Amino acid sequence: MIPTTCVLVTARFFDEKAADILRDAGLEVLTGGIAPDAIDSVITGEMHDALARCCAWIMGMPPVGSDLLARYPKLQVLARRGVGYDTIDVAAVKAHRRLLTITPGSNEATVADHAVGLMLAVGRRYVESHRRMQSGEKGVLVGTELSGKTVGLIGMGRIARLVARRLAGFDARVIAHDPYLRQDEADQHGVQMASLETVLASSDFISLHAPLTDSTRHLIDERALVRMKPDAILINTARGELVDDGALLAALRHGRLAGAGLDVIGSERDASLEAVTRELLALPNVICTQHTGGSSREGLERANRRAAQCVVAALEGQPLPPDVIVVDGRSP
């Protein structure tokens, strides 16, 4: 049993069953009065008080850097609910000797479902058809099938592999570009390895599953969009910054791309792109969702539980749950 101490939870939709895992270990859970993932350049009020008191923090995607870690020395464990840590300065975590955990595997099936759902929704023009029904407009919209098409996956991690499995049911030809993908892994998942140029030029649907790094930022830019088929559909359930939204808007407006399904957009982290986002939303061949690809009830419950288990294990000095990604700055 851990001596009574505090855990701050700012991850949205953190359920009581997950909170009970913390409480059963003798931890006080702080959530009330603090907006989920709300972090300003200057932290004041209840957020400051909570961070100053707590030894652990279960979070969604707030930015965490060296200044924050230096300001709150009691905060020893950071548990990121979900996949990726591009908002967290990993070097700072190591320098300040803190522990960071990331919980992949919790919502991968949810995101894979969402990616395929966006392919169907954009291809078959669901939103356009719904709006026409609402307005009483007559006529039938003609869409495009997913069945039998070539789908290109950029990035071949856990989520992309589940997407490939789902696409087998559509008799789709799946090709993938991932510099770390081995031929035997591709064969195992029924995927044909290809260069980025081939994926861009040959695919009817292109689905992004790459991590955000310096080399993948704006991976889909004007040059990449020019290589794509004019009747292709772009799907992004990974990170908004993988796509140059301004270039995407221009391609869609000028008929150089058939449509886009976006669960993530650049303006999530760059307010200067909000005008571009509004223009994308106004296009009939674009469907945007609110970064909800991983937000099923089941997926959130799994992620919450694993994040809570990570905190308890880290504070008790026990082994962390399997398949958790760990950055341990406490190690010598």
Same domain assignment for residues 272 and 159: yes
Same domain assignment for residues 221 and 321: no
Residue 173's domain comprises: 126-284
Residue 1 domain flag: no
Same domain assignment for residues 165 and 190: yes
Same domain assignment for residues 279 and 131: yes
Tell me what the mean pLDDT of segment 150-158 comes to: 96
Total domain count for the chain?
2
Q: 253 an active-site residue?
A: no
At 1 the pLDDT is 47
Tokens found for residue 104: 């992949």
pTM above 0.75, yes or no: yes
What is the rounded distance in angstroms from the CA atom of residue 208 to the CA atom of residue 219?
A: 10
What is the rounded distance in angstroms from the CA atom of residue 9 to the CA atom of residue 36?
A: 8
* pLDDT greater than 70 at residue 4: no
* CB distance 101 to 81 below 8 Å: no
Same domain assignment for residues 96 and 75: yes
Residue 76 domain flag: yes
Instruction: Identify the three-state secondary structure at position 60.
Output: coil
CA distances from 186 to 109, 112, 199, 217 (A): 19, 17, 14, 25
Same domain assignment for residues 252 and 181: yes
Q: 279 an active-site residue?
A: no
Same domain assignment for residues 223 and 300: no
Residue 120 domain flag: no
Q: 254 an active-site residue?
A: no
Catalytic residue among 268, 269, 279, 301: 268
Catalytic residue among 239, 302, 305, 306: 239
Catalytic residue among 165, 227, 269, 291: 291
* pLDDT greater than 70 at residue 36: no
* CB distance 7 to 22 below 8 Å: yes
Tokens found for residue 266: 């650049």
Residue 32 domain flag: yes
